[in-house]
Amino acid sequence: MVEYILGNYLVDTGKITREQLTQTLDKQDSVRVKLGLIAVAEGMMTLEQADEVNRQQALRDKRFGDIAVSMGCLTEEQVGKLLKMQGNNFLMFVQALVDSGCISMEGLEEVMKDFRQKNGYSNSEIDALKSDEVDRIVPLFIPEEGKEFTEIIATAVRTLIRIIDRHIYVGQAEMVDAFPAADLVSQGLKGEEGIIDALSEKDGALLNVCSIFGKEEFEKLDLDALDASGELLNCINGLYASSLSRDGRFLELMPPEYEDINAKAQKKICRIPIFIGNQGFYFTVAKLA
């Protein structure tokens, strides 16, 4: 998720091109993150220290971590932590950027500083983004009025990442006056904490989602395609209801619907855009009326 959030920022600010972003994302899954980059990104070492360890590596047949410990730059505990972080998506993306020459190690700190300032993120929020953990990232994109829906939105995003595309990412959620009346599949969850939620089209991604989940190339968002997204929504809501039941909170899933549902929803409606590549769709949720 974080690779697209940061990558789109880099494109929008002219630091890299859209083509460079695409190429970097293609390389990301095969890259192995260097410990020096992680150590600098995490503030455990300075760039100068990392460069010196790299120079020593060229002269000595030893691993980066071993040399850094022997030089007093890192502790054994810190090296262990860095090794565990090598599969982190943020670090893999940054390593791919550096390897392709899009950004230098020297420029990385300035890029992250500008990114933080432009978005008004605190240091802890930047740490949440770097973690690439859905439960830490999603709340950053939900307005205060919609915070009560964080759990179901996070469940939806986690499920979509597992089932549809691991590079799915979210945009800024907003409070809206109504659910859309068309190109929508919805489902009610009855109970004390009852909600109604929906998947609807934005600019092409829902049709793509329907094809992926339904294992069929749908040409338009007709009832057959929406049936596939209805099954996906039922999967999302089933996982959400199961998680609540473990805490003694119970919801009953109603059948998916494909019509105007605004009469069934309270007016406090939260809508979040979810993206696959450059195309998006909406996940919308409200309390049952």
pLDDT digits (tens, 9 = 90+) for 21-67: 988 888 887 777 778 878 887 888 898 998 898 888 777 767 888 88
123, 231: one domain: no
Distance CA 284, CA 129 (A): 23
Q: What domain range is 108 assigned to?
A: 2-134
Examine the fold and report which residue of 85, 102, 134 is the final residue of a domain before the chain moves on. Answer: 134
Distance CA 69, CA 35 (A): 12
140, 69: one domain: no
**To 5 degrees, how large is the angle CA 108–CA 111–CA 116?**
125
Nearest Cα to 45, choosing from 10, 81, 88, 17? 81
Count of domains for the chain: 2
142, 121: one domain: no
Residues 6 or more apart whose Cβ sits within 8 Å of residue 241? 189, 250, 251, 252, 253
Distance CA 274, CA 261 (A): 21
pTM attached to this predicted model: 0.81
Q: Which residue has the tokens 């150590």?
A: 39
Examine the fold and report which residue of 77, 101, 134 is the final residue of a domain before the chain moves on. Answer: 134
Examine the fold and report which residue of 134, 167, 192 is the final residue of a domain before the chain moves on. Answer: 134
- What is the chain's pLDDT, residue by residue, as a tens digit (289 residues)? 889 999 999 999 999 999 999 888 888 877 777 788 788 878 888 989 988 988 887 777 678 888 899 999 999 888 888 877 777 888 888 888 888 888 887 788 888 889 999 999 998 999 999 888 899 999 999 999 999 999 999 999 999 999 999 889 999 999 999 998 888 999 999 998 899 999 999 999 999 999 999 999 999 999 999 999 999 999 999 999 999 998 899 999 999 999 899 999 999 999 999 999 889 999 999 999 9
